[in-house]
Amino acid sequence: MVSKKFNKIVSQKPNIIGITCSYHEDLNYVKLNLDYLRAVEKAGGVPVLIAITDQHLIPKFMKIIRGLILSGGVDVDPNYYGEEPLPGHGEISPQRDRIEIEMTKIALKEKVPILGICRGAQVLNIAAGGSLYQNIKMKNGNLLEHMQNAPRHHPYHHINVTRETLLWHILERKEIVRVNSFHQQVVKKLGRGFRVSAVTSDGVIEGLEAEKHPFALGVQWHPEGHASRGMPGGQEIFDALIRAASKPLIA
């Protein structure tokens, strides 16, 4: 029998934050770096792993979470932004793509707070109608190295943060921040209703956010790695997500 105390907890709808996982379809398992969970817990949220295989369950799951984190991982199928795969495109996870893009569209529509991390920032952009460079080498210019050969938490290159953006306020109005970097795909065309909130010196978009959504933020680096060591550009981002998740949803 379900206790009255449990029913009361559920009815209060605590800050349950759904976090997407990596799907390894050939090996038949899912996984997630523990740093994501620790950062959410430290911020006062309740992390719940999203490992759905049935798309019909997505609307039900979206009703129980107060915020959505799209975690890092492999490349996104270019079919979702109207392109064929080109040489240099990496591994894809079809099951994960289907689940995450559908959940993100719902979160955007229903004003559920969203934090997209690395691949997650790219998924957020695609769900809003944007596109990617399938490989960063396809972008013109003198590019930086964006796949660091260094520990996960190590700040590798600088980003320039746009003033008066959500990200600028979250980072305590810092205009230059040093972040880690583990990606080969980058945003090309911004999704509808999104603006750039951070770039690197080579013009790669490192931060994007929705202009008419209470909290829909994508960051190209891995703040959970910085959060694990108490570094800037880390825990404060998760804290901001939990603050947004604590507010009533906007109709």
Residue 6 lies inside a defined structural domain of this protein:
no
Residue 109 lies inside a defined structural domain of this protein:
yes
Range of the domain at 28: 11-246
Which residues are catalytically annotated?
Answer: 118, 222, 224
Residue 5 lies inside a defined structural domain of this protein:
no
Residue 1 lies inside a defined structural domain of this protein:
no
User: What residue ranges in the chain does DSSP mark as E strands?
Assistant: 16-20, 22-24, 29-31, 46-50, 67-70, 114-117, 132-133, 157-161, 176-179, 186-187, 194-199, 205-210, 216-219
Instruction: Count other C-beta atoms under 10 Å from residue 232's C-beta.
Output: 15
Q: What pTM was estimated for this model as a whole?
A: 0.93
The SS3 call for residue 72 is coil
Residue 4 lies inside a defined structural domain of this protein:
no
Number of domains in the chain: 1
Residue 60 lies inside a defined structural domain of this protein:
yes
Find the length of the chain.
Answer: 251
Per-residue pLDDT of the chain (251 residues; tens, 9 = 90+): 445 554 454 445 679 999 999 999 888 999 999 999 999 999 999 999 999 889 999 999 999 999 999 999 999 999 999 999 999 899 999 999 999 999 999 999 999 999 999 999 999 999 999 999 999 989 888 899 999 999 999 999 999 999 999 999 999 999 999 999 999 999 999 999 999 999 999 999 999 999 999 999 999 999 999 999 999 999 999 999 999 999 876 65
Residue 3 lies inside a defined structural domain of this protein:
no
| 8 A C-beta contact, residue 121 and residue 185 | no
The domain spanning residue 116 has which CATH number?
A: 3.40.50.880
Measure the CA dihedral 114/217/115/231, to 10°.
-150
DSSP-assigned letters across all residues of 109-128? HHT--EEEETHHHHHHHHHT
Residue 193 lies inside a defined structural domain of this protein:
yes
| 8 A C-beta contact, residue 72 and residue 184 | no
